[in-house]
Each structure stands twice: as structure tokens, then as C-alpha cells.
Chain A
Amino acid sequence: MSMKEEHIVELENVKKTFRDFWLRPTVAAVDSLSLTVRRGEVFGLLGPNGSGKSTTIKMILGLLAPSAGEVKLFGLSPRSIAARKKLGYLPELSYLHPFLTASETLRYYAGLCGLSRKEAASRTKELLEMVGLSDVASRPVGGFSKGMARRVALASSLIGKPELLILDEPTSGLDPISTKEVKTLVKALAAGGMTVLMTSHLLADAQDVCDRVMIVNHGRCVAEGNVAELETSLEEFFLAKVGDVQDFQLAPFLAAQNVTGKDK
């Protein structure tokens, strides 16, 4: 297998069923899902709310154990320390320790990644500069705006120089300029050889950065392919595959307001 074809993430017929206290199955979040992420590519995991994206990501991270099937990260169990050494993760929300400063936050995660004090200091400085937070490095992150906290979280996911970066809604909470910069960053990281697995609701963003996407719905793969080979936009492709989900029942509300969906 060439370097390009090396599989960084492998899921084979993975199922995840959540159970209640009495071990009765409640939700089948992921159902017979198989996917592979190759070294150096930007892979997008797309799907509507509740489709099983986050559960899949958590199984890849080793936070959830699959009910059936197999998950491999760098050919190892996701819970092995060797696999976790090569991993960076940005969750959907930032979840930072509010009493730590931005620089302390990065140094904390640097410590967890086993970086020496000197390495941690230089990497912290470099990453804070990269995300444009050098000026507020000594301010507690509890006082940061959502966008600033997001940038600290992004920097902390990169602190251990990971080979695989998992981004859960990376542009969530960012303004359009920061969103553009994050997309540029993801492309640059991929160009540097890093593998990126991301989820996003913003299909235009995914189209801009992803090499390959998988669309999941009800825990199952409904489509998979290279973005460059799509004949339509990703949004049209997505809607064609997932359909009109219609979680909202707007018609009665709009009728009461004397407007129609079309007018809107």
C-alpha cells in the first residue's frame, strides 16, 4: 500500500445502539457504517442533525465503544495511547477551562501531549500567533467571545502536531472572515500532509475544503464520493441524497401569519 493509500481511519460495519438503564435499546445512532480516511486527504462527514455524525466521530476518538463492527485508528484501537498520540480533536463547542489563560490552556494540552516545557512554550507562542490571539495570551479564556474561544480550541487541537485532525463543525461560531481563515488553514494543513476528518452543516464550506465526502442519514451511508467529481453543487447533491427532511412543521404557523412558504 502506498503512502497515499494508507488508511488512517477505518470503520467496518460499525453499529452503535444506545441503551437505557435496563439495557433496552433506545436509539440506533449508527447502523452498519463503513468508511475509510486515507492519509493526506480532507474527508467530510456530512448529514442532517441526528444523522449519527457525532456518534461516529466519538467512536473514532475512542470515547464511545461500538456495539458491533470494528473501528481502527492508524491500524490500532482508538483507545490505545499510540493512536491517540497522533490525534488532534476540535469539538463542536470549545469547552475550555474558564479559569486558565489562553497560553495556559495551550501549555496544559501540550503537557498532555508530552511536549517538553521548551517545546510547549515555543509551540504555544507559534499557535497563538497563528490564530491571532497573541495579544490576549494572558487573559482568562472564560472572558473570551465565542469566536476567540473557538480559535483557542483550534490551536489546542494542533498543539501536539497531530497526523490526523478531527474537526467537529470547525467554523461554528466564527465570523465570515475567521471562517475563511479556518478554511485556508485546513487546506494548508492538508497540503502539509496532515489528514483531516471534518463534519459541517455548512455545505459550501465543506465543498471548499474537502477532497472526499460521505453523507450519512439515520446512521447509514447514503452517498460517498470525490467532491471534484460532482456534477452539481454539494448542497444540491446533499438534498438529492438526503431529501427534504422537514424537521420544522412551518405550514400552520405561516398560514396563521398570512404568509406562505413561497412568499418567504
Chain B
Amino acid sequence: MKAFFAIFRLEFVSMVRSRALLLLALFALAWMFAVPYLITGDGTAEGAREISIRYGFGGVFVITLVSLLATASGSIARERAAKRLPLTMVRPVAYSLVVFAKAAALTLSGAIVLAIACLPALRMSVDGRWHSSAKCNHVLQPLLPSPREEACVMYEVYMKDPETPPEVKRAKRSTVLRLLEARAMDHYQTIPTNETVKWKFNVSGLPGARKAIMGEGDDLPSVRLRLSNMNEVRQDVCGYLSIGKIHAVVSNQTLAVLTFPLSPRSDGGAAEENILSFRNDGSGTSLMLRPRKDVALLVPADAFVWNLFRAWCELVSILALTISFGLFLSSALGRPVALFSAIVILAVSEASPGVISQYPDELETKLSDRIALTVTRFVAEATQPVSSLNPLERLSLDECIEVPEVCRVAAVNLFLLPVLLSLLSGIVLPRKQDEV
């Protein structure tokens, strides 16, 4: 451990004395204060919050991520080029510990910068500008079969259908299933006029949620719906929402993402506590929504400050994994190649989910496109531990970043994967040194 702290301290002192940490911290503060003046919002508190978090905090995170990735991917390679690395390697310290200690020091630097960026965000939440969003919400999705299960059912039906194109029938089962799974996520449910739909929720895992649904306590749940119709035209929505002992009357709302606060029922009656029902009372055409994406029960959770803290934990975990990857590249490659590879992989990992979702089905493409799509999908899957996390988006929408998720992300991204990458770096490091 003494060796770990010696290397950790050296790397951190290097960040401080090279003024890299100071510059990043000053940038973070300046950017957080400047963004509300640089980007014009819609005049609402929610708009101001979204700008500050997405563009302010998000900008600080991106700059910190890129600069620390560049530092990490140059760190060991620079030491090697300056011939200082052998002086560490001949000491009685495991090579993987050298890499892990460096990763820890760079992660601490990033954590400090992000914490500094949190301060203006915190002030804005306390002084009342965001009074409407003092609390965040647990977001519950309806209990439905998984997209995979739905895809399997659809596959059997699809294959028996004589109208299914022969090229689809010839295609690999896994490919068709993947496409059907993607479609299952966007599966629409129709709500005809004067009919009621019901969605089941699991509220047992959230302490206090059942109480809130039964209309007890000060903070009552809301329902978020994203409604549309067949013709994609403006249409007023009328209806009635209820769950447990709380309800909301929906009247003359324009199609959009709508959040309906629920209140105790005046008639004192009660529906089932885990079934949300929505009756379409509108006189227009049927309404449509995707239950997996467009229906959410929002149960009040804790204060914004705690949600910010959890978002910070997730962001630090992402930094830790990215830095460890940069150090791994630095152990295996020379500085320019490591830096170039790190930036390219970062860019591809960010872009790949968008490419996959927007690209035509594999069955409709040429061989060269299929190869490129396979590579992109591999990168997307390999970088999923980082790219699938979106704490800032959820923070800006006041969605609670759940504690079990934060623990899982921290265990994997802050500890497990960095340790694994450090061990790999420890194997690569002497082999690369052998080439020098």
C-alpha cells in the first residue's frame, strides 16, 4: 500500500504542479456560470435547469473526460519516452499496482473538478430558482414482457406467415430476433375513445411508494405520458387517470409529453394499488403510445442535492473506467498512437448507438455495410458500461438515479473494470518495455 500511495501522490502532485487541475477547475466554474448567459432558455425554471445541467455540467464533464483521457493515454507512454519508467519498474512494486495508482490519482483529479462544477448547480437549486423541482422522482415503468420475450413470440408468428419475405425466412434467427427486439421497444398500444387501458406497476420495491399511492403523505405521485395519434396532428386529449386512492382528470391537453400530478380521490374509493388505468374520454381519433417508453409513474424521492451527488458518483465512475482504458492503451502503445486510439474509440463509442438505431435493418444492406454494422455493434456493446449511462439527462428531468444502480455502476466502473484493466496493463507493460 505504501507503494500505491507513493505513485498515487506523485501522479496527483503532477496534476497539481502542471496546473492542469487548476485550469480544469477554473474552466468548470467559469463554464457553469457562463452557460445560463450564453444559451437562452424558454423562460421556465425547468428550461433553466436543463440548460445548466445538460450544457453546463455536461460541458464540464465532456472537457474533463477528454482531457483526463488524453492525460491517461499519455501518462505511461510519456514516462517510458522520458526513460523514467524503468526507475519505477525496478522497484519492488507490482506493475499493475503502478497503473492502478495512476488511475486512482487521475480519477481523484476528475472527481474534484466535477465536485467544483456541482457547487453552482447546488446553489441554483437552493436559492429557489428551481423551486418546482426541489425533489426528484423514482421512475416506474409498466410491468410488461421483456422485448426479448415479445420478439420470440413475434418470431414464431412471423416465420409461419406465408407473406413473410423469403430472405427474412432464410436469415439467421439471431439477426431476425434482434430486429424484432428493437421493434418491440417501439411497439404501440392503441387507446380507442371511451375505452380504458391498464398498466401494472411493481411498487413493492420502493419504500413509501405504496403509501403515496394510497394518498397518504404530502408528496403524491405523478404520471408521465407521451401521447400521439395515427395522423400526427394536434389533438386535445381528455381522460381520466387513477391508481390506488389518487387520480387526475385530463382535460384539453395538447398531444405531447405530459406530466399529470395525481391527487386524492374525492369519492374516497380506491382502485388496485399497483394498476394504473387511463380512460380516453376524447372525442377525436384513438390515442397511441408505446408502453415501454411513453408511460411512467413518478413517485417522489429525495432532494435534488442527493440526486446530484448520485449523478456525480456515476460520472466519476465513468471517468475512472475511461482513465483506466487510457492507461491501458498507454501501457501498450506509444504516446501519439495511444492518444489517437483513445479519442477515436471514445468518438465511435459515443456515435455507435445512434448509428445502429438509425441504420437500415441488416437484412436490407450490402455485405460491406453489414460488416461495418457488426463492428459498430461490437464497439457499442463493448462500451455499453459507459455509453448506456445517462445520469445528466435524468438529473435534468428530475428522475431519481437509484442507489442500487449507483452501487452497481461504482462497483463495476470504479473498481472491477479498472482493476481488470490494470492487471492487463501489468502484463503488457514489461512486454512493451522489452521493445524499447
Contact = CB atoms under 8 A, between A and B. Distances in A.
A111 B430 contact: no
B2 A111 contact: yes
Interface residues of A, number: 33
B82 interface: yes
Given A79-B430, A111-B3, A114-B2, A97 B89 contact: no
Contacts of B430: 62-63, 65, 79
Where chain A touches its partner, the secondary structure class is loop
A19 to B, nearest CB: 9
B403 interface: no
Interface in A72-89: 79, 81-82, 84-85, 87, 89
A99 to B, nearest CB: 4
Interface in A114-166: 114-116, 156, 160
Contacts of A85: 92
A252 to B, nearest CB: 36
Given A108-B6, A111-B5, A95 B84 contact: yes
Pick the most buried of B10, B13, B92: most chain A CB atoms within 10 A of its CB. Answer: B92
Given A62-B89, A114-B3, A114-B92, A97 B84 contact: yes
A65 B3 CA distance: 24
A82 B433 CA distance: 20
A112 B9 CA distance: 11
A97 B10 contact: yes
A113 interface: yes
Contacts of B5: 111
A114 B14 CA distance: 21
Secondary structure class of chain B's binding surface, majority of residues: helix
Interface string B90-123: 1111100000000000000000000000000000
A87 B14 CA distance: 26
B366 interface: no
A112 B14 contact: no
Contacts of A62: 89-90, 430
B2 A115 contact: yes
A91 interface: yes
B83 A93 contact: yes
Counting contact residues on chain B (CB < 8 A from A), the size range is 20 to 34
A127 to B, nearest CB: 16
A113 B91 contact: yes
Nearest to B94: A81
Contacts of B295: none
Interface in B45-83: 82-83
A65 B14 CA distance: 31
Contacts of A89: 86-87, 90
Contact of A112 (B13, B83, B86, B88): B88
A87 B87 CA distance: 11
A113 B92 contact: yes
Given A95-B82, A100-B13, A115-B2, A64 B92 contact: no
Contacts of B14: 97, 99
Contact of B433 (A63, A96, A113, A160): A63
Contacts of B83: 91, 93, 95
B92 A84 contact: yes
A111 to B, nearest CB: 3
Nearest to A109: B91
A111 B92 contact: no
A211 to B, nearest CB: 24
B2 A87 contact: no
B7 interface: yes
A107 B433 CA distance: 25
A61 interface: yes
B93 A112 contact: yes
B90 to A, nearest CB: 5
Given A89-B90, A95-B82, 5 more contacts: A61-B86, A87-B92, A95-B87, A112-B88, A112-B91
Please provide the 5 A-B residue pairs with the shortest distance between their CB atoms, ordered closest to farther: A111-B6, A112-B91, A85-B92, A99-B17, A84-B92
